[in-house]
């Protein structure tokens, strides 16, 4: 079964994504930014979904590590009202989705990235 790692500091949001994806994939969720890389290495997800607004978190740096070193396709979630800005041109994430998400958008994006396989650039 394909695997998805969700990283979001809002446990309610993580639970919603978990329930949505759990029917189709093996899913793990985390709210801890300091363990993301080690958790990704251990769990070996096919896709990572991560909130760009995590405290003390740099989405660009994270995507570089995950995409270039671990070769895991990544979806960055952004809140249009947030002060966190993502430079779409330089971000190595394979998808950037705006919150609030529609269930179909998330499912289709994850399915597309999984179908492309590792290093879906």
pLDDT tens for the chain, 121 residues long, are 999 999 988 888 889 999 999 999 999 998 777 788 889 999 999 999 988 887 777 777 777 788 788 889 999 888 877 666 665 556 778 888 988 889 999 999 999 999 987 654 4
Name all domains of the chain by residue range, CATH numbers in brackets. 3-116 (3.40.50.2300)
SS3 4: strand
The predicted structure's pLDDT at residue 104: 94
The predicted structure's pLDDT at residue 28: 95
Strand arrangement of the beta sheet that strand 95-98 belongs to = 26-30, 3-7, 47-51, 74-78, 95-98
The predicted structure's pLDDT at residue 83: 62
Is 52 buried (19+), middle (13-18) or exposed (0-12) by CB count in 10 A?
A: buried
Is 31 buried (19+), middle (13-18) or exposed (0-12) by CB count in 10 A?
A: middle
The predicted structure's pLDDT at residue 14: 86
CA distance 32 to 82: 20
The predicted structure's pLDDT at residue 90: 61
The predicted structure's pLDDT at residue 17: 93
The predicted structure's pLDDT at residue 121: 44
The predicted structure's pLDDT at residue 84: 62
């Amino acid at each position: 079964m394909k695997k998805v790692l969700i990283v979001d500091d809002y446990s309610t949001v993580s639970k919603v994504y978990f329930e949505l994806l759990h029917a189709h994939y093996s899913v793990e969720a985390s709210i801890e930014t300091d363990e993301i890389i080690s958790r990704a290495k251990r769990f070996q997800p096919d896709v990572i979904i991560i909130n760009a607004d995590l405290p003390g978190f740099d989405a660009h740096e994270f995507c570089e590590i995950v995409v270039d070193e671990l070769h895991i396709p990544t979806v960055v979630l952004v809140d249009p009202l947030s002060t966190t800005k993502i430079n779409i041109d330089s971000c190595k994430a394979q998808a950037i989705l705006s919150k609030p998400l529609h269930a179909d958008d998330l499912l289709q994006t994850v399915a597309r990235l999984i179908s492309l396989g590792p290093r879906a650039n």
